[in-house]
Structure 1
Amino acid sequence: MSKMTVEVVTPERVVYSGEASMVIARGVQGDLGILPNHMPLVTPLKVAPVRIKTDGDQETKIAVSGGFMEVHGEKVTILAETAELPEDIDVDRAKRAKQRAEQRLNERQPDLDQRRAELALQRALARLDITNSL
Structure 2
Amino acid sequence: MATLKVGLVSPEREIWTGEAKMVVAQTIEGQLGILPGHAPVLGVLLDGSVVKIEPADGGDWITAAVGSGFFSIAGDEVSVLAEQAELGTEVDVEDAREALQAALSAGDDSTAERRARARLRAAGAEG
Name the amino acid aligned to 1:133: A
Q: Extract unaligned runs of 5+ from structure 2.
A: none
Q: Does 1:122 align with 2:114?
A: yes
Give structure 1 stretches of 5+ with no counterpart.
Answer: 106-113
Alpha-carbon offset, residue 57 of structure 1: 6.6
The residue type paired with residue 42 of structure 2 is V
Query: What corresponds to 1:99 in structure 2?
Result: 101
Q: How does 1:16-55 map to 2 (within 5 A)?
A: 16-46=16-46, 47-54=48-55, 55=57
Name the amino acid aligned to 1:92. E
Aligned residues: 124
Most deviating of 118-127 and 49-58: 49-58
Alignment match, 1:73? 75
SS of 2:110's equivalent in the other structure is helix
Distance 1:129 1:96 in 2: 14
Q: Which residue of 2 aligns with 1:87?
A: 89
Determine which structure has more spread, i.e. the larger CA radius of gyration: 1
1:33 partner SS: strand
Q: Which structure shows the bigger proportion of residues in strand conformation?
A: 2
Structure-2-length-normalised TM-score = 0.92
TM-score (norm 1): 0.87
CA RMSD of aligned residues (A): 1.3
